[in-house]
Amino acid sequence: MAELAQRLRARLRDDTLDPKELTECVEMLLQLEEPPEELCEEFLSHAGARLETELAALEAELPPADPSGAATTPPPASDILDFVDRGSSAFVGNLCLLAASYRSLFEGCPGVGEGRLEAFAAALTARYFELLERRLALERGLGDTSLLVRALDRFHRRLRALLELLPTAGAEAGAALVARAAGERVARYLRALQTFFLGCLGDVRQALAAPRPPGKEGPGLPDLLATLSSSVLGQLKAVLAYVQLFTAKDVAFASLPYFKGEFCVEAVREGLVVAFVRWLCRTARGFADSPTERGAPAAPPALLLLLARLCLDYEATTISYILTLTDEQFPPEDTGPAVTPGPALCAEARGAAQRLLDHYVQVQGAAVAQMLRKSVETRDWLGTVEPRNVRAVMKRVVEDITAIDVQVGQLFEEGVRRAQSSDSSRRAFSVYSSSRAPGRYAPSYTPSAPMDTHLLSNIQKLFSERIDIFSPVEFNKVSVLTGIIKISLKTLLECVRLRTLGRFGLQQVQVDGHYLQLYLWRFAADERVVQGLLDEVAASAAHRCLDPVPMEHSVVELICERGKILILSFW
């Protein structure tokens, strides 16, 4: 019997024994009444060496750990499902067999310490989880999400079989590993959505800046907006469909509490959908808030207008649709964490749209104002000749305002205009009055002294409605055009106040002002705004004139009619 025991012990030290042969060998030694404590030690030592070999084989497939986290690591030779299959069939499968054999061999044996198997298995499973984490970290791209879900599902199923034998072998760590892998994939989808949106914006900017052959028009703003909106929404719906694979009914880990509650709310709804909508609003708003770096091209005004319309559409319908779709596909629990309400997101989108539209008005108003400022500053108003024509810059201003009217009208509704007087385009300007009251002809005064003229102008301002130049605009065309016109005419007023004019300089201002009145009133929400600002321009010119002799109104009308241009007007 002693010789048989020695032969069995010699065989026990053979590294080529498989788990079944190891179990048979130890079982016979126990029948020969060999010390259970020694056999337990040798059993775990032999099993540990075999399992360590299997872990080493898995680790050999992984590149060395890079503490810097650089993305220069070459892609793995096999996919994640193949890696998990080998780990599950070899390491986890053998660990299950050895755990079952250990319990059948040493259960109730005296001298065998309690918890030795649990500690032995916990150390090995911790190493296996670490290797699997490293392999999952190599999944840098989006790849095939269904492949990742199948791999995690297979890992979870085999781990669940192990936990039936060893409940303390890492249940929480395994569930946390699956949750982290799913959360990391959702985070990558968020980054992919952001990259996709920036790419779409780049396409829009390229389409806006592309030169057009003569006679061929490019895509209009409505087409660009529809393409951008549908592309982003379609991509978001596709991402939700991919993420929904993690909660499919045939996936074992979908029954975990994390995937029933926290994953649906915090990872998908808040971490993906809400985070993307907020990022989109911040990105769009950044075109208005961020100062342009030196040498960097500023955002084209058409892009500001398009993004304002996009954010307004999100506020009106898109956000509600996206949140409803998300809640249907990933229903939150009644007792789950609090979620971001839809109205809060809509308010952010509307705020971004308002900021973009205000910035559009400021940019376009500044462009027109710059033309007017240069035209005033570069002219000799004392030595100018008697006016015979409307200055070319005034015609350019009307052309630019008309083009802006067409551009804004492509994306925004007309808006409400104040009832127009029947003679808006025929109204005359007095260089001695800044009254903003509408009428066929502004009252013409002939004061006894220049001081009286200035005093009369200031008195009339007390009874006129104050014009807020930089007030927020409404989401309609006439409000946008009114804001641009106010900025332009206010700039003209301030520039005239800084010049000294002769008689003919005053008359040129009179002609230019009448020409602007003929056309600009029809773009504004209230014609009195245009009339009032042009009245102030004329009054300031008269106050700064050394010889304030105005031109006859009939002559002014004749000059303006001669310089009349064809303009498309949209009412």
Closest CA to 330 of 177, 182, 196: 182
Among 216-220, 289-293, 411-415, name the one with the lowest average pLDDT.
289-293
Angle at CA of residue 526, ends 523 and 531, nearest 5°: 90
pLDDT at residue number 427: 52
pLDDT of 13 above 70: no
pLDDT of 495 above 80: yes
Place of tokens 């008269």: 542
Closest CA to 58 of 78, 34, 29, 75: 78
Torsion, Cα of 266, 271, 274, 278 (10° steps):
140
Q: How confident is the model at residue 163 (pLDDT cuts 50, 70, 90)?
A: confident
Among 6-10, 315-319, 512-516, name the one with the lowest average pLDDT.
6-10
What is the mean predicted confidence (pLDDT) over 133-155? Answer: 86
pLDDT of 240 above 90: yes
Show Cβ contacts of residue 564 under 8 Å, excluding neighbours closer than 6 positions. 518
Sign of the Cα torsion 475, 481, 482, 484 reads positive
Is 60:53 a contact under the CB 8 Å cutoff? Answer: no
pLDDT above 90 coverage of the chain, percent: 42
Q: How far is CA 117 from CA 101, 103, 124, 169, 176, in A?
A: 11, 9, 11, 10, 23
Please tell me the distance from the alpha carbon of residue 441 to that of residue 526, in angstroms, as a whole number. Answer: 17
**pTM of this prediction?**
0.82
What is the mean predicted confidence (pLDDT) over 149-177? Answer: 85
pLDDT at residue number 210: 83
What is the mean predicted confidence (pLDDT) over 107-122? Answer: 72
pLDDT of 254 above 70: yes
pLDDT at residue number 211: 80
pLDDT of 433 above 60: no
Among 403-407, 467-471, 476-480, name the one with the lowest average pLDDT.
467-471
Q: How confident is the model at residue 360 (pLDDT cuts 50, 70, 90)?
A: very high
Is 120:44 a contact under the CB 8 Å cutoff? Answer: yes
pLDDT of 23 above 70: yes
Residue 518 structure tokens: 């003929």
Q: How confident is the model at residue 257 (pLDDT cuts 50, 70, 90)?
A: confident
Show Cβ contacts of residue 44 under 8 Å, excluding neighbours closer than 6 positions. 102, 116, 117, 120
| Strands, E assignment, 89-193 | none
The larger pLDDT score, comparing residue 98 to residue 295, is at 98
526-547 per-position pLDDT tens digit: 888 898 899 999 999 999 999 9
Residue 295 structure tokens: 């040498």
Please name the residue ranges forming H helices in 210-252. Answer: 221-243
pLDDT of 12 above 50: yes
Bridge-partner residues for 441, per DSSP? 428
Query: How many C-beta atoms lie closer than 10 Å to residue 184's C-beta?
Result: 15
Is 55:121 a contact under the CB 8 Å cutoff? Answer: no
Burial class (CB in 10 A: 0-12, 13-18, 19+), 422: exposed
The larger pLDDT score, comparing residue 325 to residue 72, is at 325
Q: How far is CA 475 from the centre of its chain?
A: 21
Please tell me the distance from the alpha carbon of residue 89 to that of residue 286, in angstroms, as a whole number. Answer: 52
Q: How far is CA 402 from CA 160, 395, 409, 522, 567, in A?
A: 71, 11, 11, 10, 7
pLDDT at residue number 140: 73
Bridge-partner residues for 428, per DSSP? 441
217 φ/ψ angles, rounded to the nearest 5 degrees? -95, 145
27-85 per-position pLDDT tens digit: 777 666 666 677 777 777 877 888 888 889 888 888 876 655 544 566 676 788 898 98
pLDDT of 432 above 80: no
Mean pLDDT for all residues in the chain = 82
pLDDT at residue number 445: 36
Q: How confident is the model at residue 423 (pLDDT cuts 50, 70, 90)?
A: low
Place of tokens 């600009």: 520
Query: DSSP letters of 165-192?
Result: H-TTSSHHHHHHHHHHHHHHHHHHHHHH
67 φ/ψ angles, rounded to the nearest 5 degrees? -65, -25
